């Protein structure tokens, strides 16, 4: 890939904007050409400088003109740019509506910048793209677990990974102790009780090493060392549901 990807970032969060700018500053391929915290200013720029833009990275929740109106207006003007949504907004109806506006990916915050970079490069490669069919679920799970501070060398990591995949692939796996633990135990020649303890240990490691803000966003409650951690079942199900939500978009 030789072409420089001229990228515009639209996000109310200065932290997100600065992290993306800092990361891509060293890239020879992805060049951040403009950043905006206002939808109005971003819209005017895109309309007047669309020939200088290849990719739009944007939150759906932005000040001024809202995200869906922004997408609708540039479509109305036949401005066809690659678009990736990066947002903490999880409404599945809104996510699915984005598929009408040339959106290639809807990535939920918090996200891995390295994974985002990989998506961008794939998007501009010559290979056919199919997020729903070709995306490797192991990569998505690994990104989330690493961001949660769970090291890949501990046993609980691979047990959690397999448990998430099992829940993702089978909505009927609701009784985790009766179905998931025994299946994982059989696969790794151990016992269900050891699987349960290893997963619990991995979650405890996450609470020590991980980003508390990320955990609070992901699990939907205030996180602190003296408050209850999610149960094993809650932990696995929450991550599986998150992956289902992102993959349900843009079918």
At 94-127, the pLDDT tens digits run 877 887 887 888 887 767 788 788 889 888 886 5
pLDDT the model gives residue 85: 92
Non-local (6+) Cβ contacts of 168 within 8 A are: 137, 240, 243, 244
SS3 breakdown of the chain: % helix, strand, coil, rounded to 5?
A: 55, 10, 30
Residue intervals of the chain classified under CATH 3.40.50.2300 are: 5-129
pLDDT in tens, 46-73: 999 999 999 999 999 998 888 999 999 9
Q: Is the CA virtual torsion 55, 59, 65, 69 positive or negative? A: positive
Q: Class assignment of domain 142-247?
A: mainly alpha
Strands 82-87 and 30-36: unpaired
Distance CA 215, CA 213 (A): 5
Confirm whether pTM is higher than 0.75.
Answer: no
Bond into 110 cis (ω within 30)? yes
Distance CA 204, CA 240 (A): 19
Q: Judge whether residue 78 has pLDDT over 90.
A: yes
Residue intervals of the chain classified under CATH 1.10.10.10 are: 142-247
Give the right CATH number for 5-129 from 3.20.20.70, 3.40.630.30, 2.102.10.10, 3.40.50.2300. 3.40.50.2300
Q: What angle do CA 175, 180, 185 make, to 5 degrees?
A: 140
Identify which of 65, 51, 49, 73 has the alpha carbon closest to the alpha carbon of residue 10: 65
Q: Are 192 and 185 in contact (CB under 8 A)?
A: yes
**What backbone phi and psi angles, to 5 degrees, belong to 200?**
-60, -40
**Rounded mean pLDDT, 133-161:** 80
Q: Are 88 and 117 in contact (CB under 8 A)?
A: no
């Amino acid at each position: 890939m030789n072409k420089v990807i001229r990228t515009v970032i639209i996000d109310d969060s200065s932290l997100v904007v600065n992290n993306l700018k800092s990361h891509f500053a060293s890239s020879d391929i992805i060049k951040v050409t403009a950043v905006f915290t206002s939808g109005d200013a971003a819209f005017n720029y895109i309309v007047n400088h669309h020939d200088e833009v290849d990719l739009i990275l944007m939150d759906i929740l932005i000040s001024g003109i809202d995200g869906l109106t922004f997408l609708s207006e540039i479509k109305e003007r036949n401005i066809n740019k690659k678009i990736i949504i990066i947002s903490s907004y999880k409404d599945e109806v809104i996510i699915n509506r984005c598929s009408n506006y040339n959106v290639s990916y809807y990535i939920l915050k918090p996200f891995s910048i390295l994974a985002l970079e990989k998506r961008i490069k794939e998007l501009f490669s010559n290979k056919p793209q199919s997020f729903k069919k070709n995306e490797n679920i192991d990569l998505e799970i690994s990104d989330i677990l690493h961001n949660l501070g769970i090291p890949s060398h501990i046993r609980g990591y691979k047990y959690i990974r397999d448990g998430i995949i099992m829940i993702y692939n089978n909505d009927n796996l609701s009784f985790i102790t009766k179905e998931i633990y025994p299946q994982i135990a059989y696969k790794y020649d151990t016992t269900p009780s050891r699987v349960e303890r290893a997963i619990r240990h991995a979650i405890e490691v996450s609470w020590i090493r991980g980003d508390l803000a990320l955990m609070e966003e992901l699990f939907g409650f205030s996180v602190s060392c003296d408050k209850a951690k999610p149960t094993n079942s809650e932990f696995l199900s929450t991550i599986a549901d998150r992956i289902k939500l992102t993959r349900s978009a843009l079918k």
